[in-house]
Amino acid sequence: MTTPLLLRFVSEARDLLQFAASGLLALERNPRDEAAINDVFRSVHTLKGSVGLFDFPAFTKLVHAGEDVLSAVRAGQLPISSEIVDLLLDALDQFGAWLDDIEGRRGLSDGADGLSRDLTAALRALLPDDFGAAATTARSAGELASVDWLPDISEAERLEAFRAATSGSQLLAIEYSPAEDCFFSGEDPVNLFRQVRPLYGLIIEPREPWPAPEAFDPYRCVLRFRALTAAPRAEVEGLFRYVIEQISVVPVGPETLIAVAGEPNGGPVYGDFVADALALLAASDWEGLRRSVSALHELTGRHLFVASALRWLEAVLGAPAPDSGWVGALIDCIAQGSSVPVPPCNSGISTTPATKQPHSVTGPLARLSALARDILDGQRVILEMAAESTTFASRLTAVGCTAANVLRGVVRQSDLEAWGSAVEASLADGTPVAALAELERLLNASTGAPSEVTAADALRPEPTGTQTQEQRQAPARVLKVDQAKVDALMNLIGELVVSKNSLPFLAKRAEEVHGSREMGREIKDVYGVIDRLAQDMQAAIMAVRMLPVSEVLDRFPRLVRDVARKLGKRVELVIEGEETAADKNIIEMLGDPLLHIIRNSLDHGIEMPEEREATGKPPDASVRIKAFQEGDQVVIEVADDGRGIDPERIRAVAVAKGLIDEERASRLTDQEAVNLVFAAGFSTAAKVSDLSGRGVGMDVVVTTVEKAGGSVSLTSVKGQGTSVRLGLPLSMAVTRVMMVEAAGGNLFGIPMDQIAETVRIARGQVRRIKQAETFVLRNAVVPLVRLDRLLGVEPPLWFGDADQEEAVLVVRIGGSLTGLVVDHFREGMDIILKPFDGILSDISGYAGTALLGDGRVLLVLNLKELL
C-alpha cells in the first residue's frame, strides 16, 4: 500500500507547491492579501501533515520551518519582504527537487540533511525573537508522570529548592531526554539544560544501562536530565521550544521535597525536645520553636537522622508562615526516629497536585489497554468541562456512546447498564453529575498501582509508524528475504560445487585401487548428474541475487542534465544495455565509481558549446554509458566525445606534484602518461570543483573497483574523447583461482583475475639488476619475485645448468606486471573464498581460505598485500 500512498503524496505535494508558489507571488505583489497568505499557509500546513506519514526527516524539518515563518507572517509578527519570499520559494524548489528524488528513488538524495539544515536555519533566522514564546502557547511541554526521583537529589539542594518554594516560587520538576541523534543536529543538551535558571539538583544519568564497552556508541545520546527549577513554565518551554517534545515538566509542591534521612541513634533521648516542641507548636510560637530547634541542632551530629529532621524543621520554620502540618510531621519524625508521611500543604502556600492521579490497573479495567483508559479519561475531562446548553445533550450522548464502546466486552453487562442509566439521568437533569460520578466509579473501581501511561503520554506525537506499516501490509506474493540467508544458501551451494569435485577422484580410485572399471564409470555418471544439478543450483541462486545495471544507471539522466546545465554545457546522455544483470553486491558497489567517472567527464572532458563549435564538433556533446556482458565479466564503458586527455599536461602535472621525476616522465609512452590519472594523489583540476567531487581522484575509482575484483582501463585521444572501461566479475561469491605449488610442495591459490599469463623461463635468462632479479617478457623488463621468499621460506639453493626452467606466474597488480616464481603450476578451480575470522583475521597477505575437494584447505594469497 505504501507505493500508491507515496505516489499520491508526490502528486498532492506537487499541487500544493504550485499553489503555494503562486500564492507567494500574489503576496509579494500585495502584502495585505489575506486570502493569499492563508492559502500559502494552508498548503504548507497540509504538506506538513502528509510528509509526516513518511520517513523523510530532512523534508519534514524544512516544511516545519517554512510553516513557522508563514505562521509568523500570518500573525502579523513578520512583515512580508522579497527576501522572505525568495527564501520560501527556495524552500519550495527544494521540496520539488526532493519530490523528484522520492519519485525516482524512493528516498531523498544524499545531501538532503545538509540542505535542509541550511535552509531551515535561514528560515528560522527570519523569525522574530519572541516567536518561540508565541509558539509555546501552541506547543507546550508534556506532563511529567512521576517524580519518584526527587529523593535522589541531595538534601542540601532539596533544602535550597524548598526555601525558594516557600518564599513564593512555584517549583517545576523537569525531565529532559534528548533525541539519540541530537549530537548530529548540533544540539548541546548539557548547555541547553543549564540555561534553565535557577536549577536545583541536576541529575544526569543514562536512560538505559550502559552497554558493554565494545557496544558503546559515543555518538548516541542516551542521557536523561532531571532537575528542579523555580523558573516559570513558560520560560522553560521557551528555552526548549525546538525540542519541546523531549521534555516533560510537572509542578511540585514543597512538601514533596521533605524527606528525612540519616543514621539512626538509639533511645528517646529527644523526649524533652519533642514535648517542648509540641507545646510551642500548639501555641504557634514559631519564634520559640525556631530557637529550640536551633539549640538542639547545635548539639546533634550532622549525619544523624534527627539532624536531617531538624534541618527540615529549620527550613519549614524559615518560611514567612510555617505550615503547622509539616512542623507536626517533622516533630513526629524525631519522636519516632523514623520517617512519617508529610501531609500536603494546608496553609497559604500554593501547591498544585503533583499530577493527575492515574487510574486503576488491577480491577476489571486491568484488561483495558492504556489507550482505552486514556480515552475514558478524556470522556471524564469532557464531562468536567462546562458545556453550552445547546450542545450539552449531544455531547453527553457522544460521551456516553464513546465510553460504552470502549467498555464493551470488558466490564460486566451490569456496569454497562449502570453507565447507560447514569448518562440517561444526566441527560434528564441537565447536569453531568450523575454520569461523571459513574465514570469516576468505573475508573477508580480499584485504584492500585499508578499506571505508566497518562493523558500526556498519549498526547505526545506518535513515533512514525510508516515502517512497521510497510512490514505489516507488504503484499504477500513477494518474499522479502534477508540477504544473509541468500548468502548462506549461496555458500552451501558453493561447498556442494567444491565437494562434488571429489567424485572424479573416487572414480579414479575405484579403477586403479579396487580394479573396478564398472564402478568407476558409474561414479562418473553420478558425478555428471550431480555436477549439472549443482551448476543449475548455482545459476538459480545467482539469479536471485542478480539485478539489472539500470538500478544504478537510472539516476544518471537527471544528474547529467542538472550538472550540464549548471556548467553551461550541452550534453546528450545515451545509455545502452541497461538490462545487463550482475550480482547485487557488484551493482551496489558500481554507483560511486560511475558517478565519479561521469562527473569527471562532464567537468573536465566536455567542452563548452562554443569551444566545440570552434573545433568543428556538434555543440551537443555525447556521453555514452554502455553495459554488456563479456565472458564472466560485466563491462561498463563510459565514453565521451570531449577534449580528451592531453598526455603532455598529465606529464607536467605529475612532475609538478612530485609523483614522478621529469626524466621518467619524458620516457613514458602517451598511454602510460594517461594512466597516471589513476595514481594516488593525482587530480588535474586546478581547483576542487564542487562537481567532480571533494578532491578525490580516479585512484579512488580504481581502489573501489579492484576491491570488488574488477579492473579499470582508460583510453583517450586528445581532441576526440575519453573512454573509461570498468570490468567487473558477474558475482563476487565464486572466485576462480589458479593453484600453484610453492614453499616445499604446499598449495596456494592466486585469484585468476590477477594473473596475466604463465611462462617458463630458463634460469639463464634471469637477469640481476643489483639485488633484484628480472627477466625480459616481450621486450619489457619484468621484476621477478620468488613466492617462497614472500612467504618467508628461503628458496632452495640452486646449482646446476642454466637451461633448467623456472615456472613464472606473471601477475598484474595495480597496472604493472610482476613475475612470481613458483615451484609448479597446478589447475585452476572455482572456490568459495572464506575470509579469515577470529584470531586469524589480522594475518595479512592472505585473502582467505577455501576447502578443496579432497578435504585439504587452500590458502588464497592476497598479492596486493604481499608484493
Partner 1 sequence: MTKPAIPIKAPRVLVVDDGITMRLYYRTVLEAAGFVVEEATNGVEGYEKALAQRFDLLIVDINMPKMDGYSMLRAIRRDAAVQGVPALTISTEAGQADAIKAYESGANYYLVKPVAPETLTDVARLMTGSGV
- Which residues make up the interface to partner 1 (CB under 8 A)? 1, 4-5, 8-9, 12-13, 42, 45-46, 48-50, 52-53, 137-140, 143, 244-245, 369, 371-372, 375, 378-379, 381-382, 385, 390-391, 393-402, 404-406, 408-409, 455-456, 459-466, 468-469, 472-473, 475
Q: Which is nearer to partner 1, 396 or 766 (CB)?
A: 396
Q: In angstroms, give the least distance from the CB of 312 to partner 1.
A: 34
Q: In angstroms, give the least distance from the CB of 157 to partner 1.
A: 29
The DSSP bridge partners found for residue 173 are 228, 250
> How much of the chain is in helix, strand and coil states, percent to nearest 5?
50, 20, 30
Which residues, in sequence order, are CB contacts of 844 under 8 Å at separation 6+? Answer: 862, 865
Q: In angstroms, give the least distance from the CB of 5 to partner 1.
A: 6
Alpha helices in 601-669 (DSSP H): 609-614, 647-656, 662-667
Q: In angstroms, give the least distance from the CB of 630 to partner 1.
A: 42
The DSSP bridge partners found for residue 572 are 622
Q: In angstroms, give the least distance from the CB of 115 to partner 1.
A: 22
Q: In angstroms, give the least distance from the CB of 241 to partner 1.
A: 12
Q: Which is nearer to partner 1, 5 or 489 (CB)?
A: 5
Pairing mode, strands 721-729 and 711-717: antiparallel
Q: In angstroms, give the least distance from the CB of 236 to partner 1.
A: 14
653: its cell numbers:
602535472
Q: In angstroms, give the least distance from the CB of 246 to partner 1.
A: 12
Q: In angstroms, give the least distance from the CB of 301 to partner 1.
A: 48
Distances (CA, A) of 826 to 74, 218, 749, 778: 81, 51, 9, 24
Q: Which is nearer to partner 1, 294 or 394 (CB)?
A: 394
Q: Which is nearer to partner 1, 224 or 395 (CB)?
A: 395
Which residues, in sequence order, are CB contacts of 183 under 8 Å at separation 6+? Answer: 219, 221
Which of 324-335 are b and which e, b meaning 16 or more Cβ less than 10 Å from the residue's Cβ?
bbbbbbbbbbbb
Q: Which is nearer to partner 1, 372 or 530 (CB)?
A: 372
Which residues, in sequence order, are CB contacts of 576 under 8 Å at separation 6+? Answer: 624, 625, 626, 627, 628
Among all chains, which residue has been given the C-alpha cell 547545635? 298
Q: In angstroms, give the least distance from the CB of 13 to partner 1.
A: 8
Alpha helices in 546-624 (DSSP H): 550-553, 556-567, 584-600, 609-614
Q: Which is nearer to partner 1, 45 or 558 (CB)?
A: 45
Say how far apart CA 283 and CA 286 lie, in whole Å. Answer: 8
Q: In angstroms, give the least distance from the CB of 555 to partner 1.
A: 25
Residue 445 sits at φ, ψ, to 5 deg, of -45, -40
Among all chains, which residue has been given the C-alpha cell 521534555? 247
Which residues, in sequence order, are CB contacts of 833 under 8 Å at separation 6+? Answer: 735, 847, 848, 849, 850, 860
Q: In angstroms, give the least distance from the CB of 7 to partner 1.
A: 10
Q: Which is nearer to partner 1, 279 or 393 (CB)?
A: 393
Q: Which is nearer to partner 1, 154 or 397 (CB)?
A: 397
Q: Which is nearer to partner 1, 464 or 622 (CB)?
A: 464
The DSSP bridge partners found for residue 725 are 637, 713
Which residues, in sequence order, are CB contacts of 800 under 8 Å at separation 6+? Answer: 763
Distances (CA, A) of 513 to 45, 64, 536, 746: 85, 82, 33, 25
A 10 A CB-CB count for 605 gives 25
Nearest to 683 by CA among 701, 706, 705: 701
Q: Which is nearer to partner 1, 468 or 629 (CB)?
A: 468
Q: Which is nearer to partner 1, 51 or 342 (CB)?
A: 51
Nearest to 147 by CA among 193, 211, 200, 195: 200
Q: Which is nearer to partner 1, 245 or 314 (CB)?
A: 245
Q: Which is nearer to partner 1, 70 or 728 (CB)?
A: 70
Q: In angstroms, give the least distance from the CB of 420 to partner 1.
A: 13
Say how far apart CA 750 and CA 815 lie, in whole Å. Answer: 17
A 10 A CB-CB count for 48 gives 16
Q: In angstroms, give the least distance from the CB of 503 to partner 1.
A: 50
Say how far apart CA 76 and CA 7 lie, in whole Å. Answer: 36
197: its cell numbers:
535558571
Q: Which is nearer to partner 1, 457 or 511 (CB)?
A: 457
420: its cell numbers:
447507560
The number of residues in the chain equals: 867
User: How close are the terminal C-alpha atoms of the chain, in Å?
Assistant: 55
Which residues, in sequence order, are CB contacts of 5 under 8 Å at separation 6+? Answer: 53
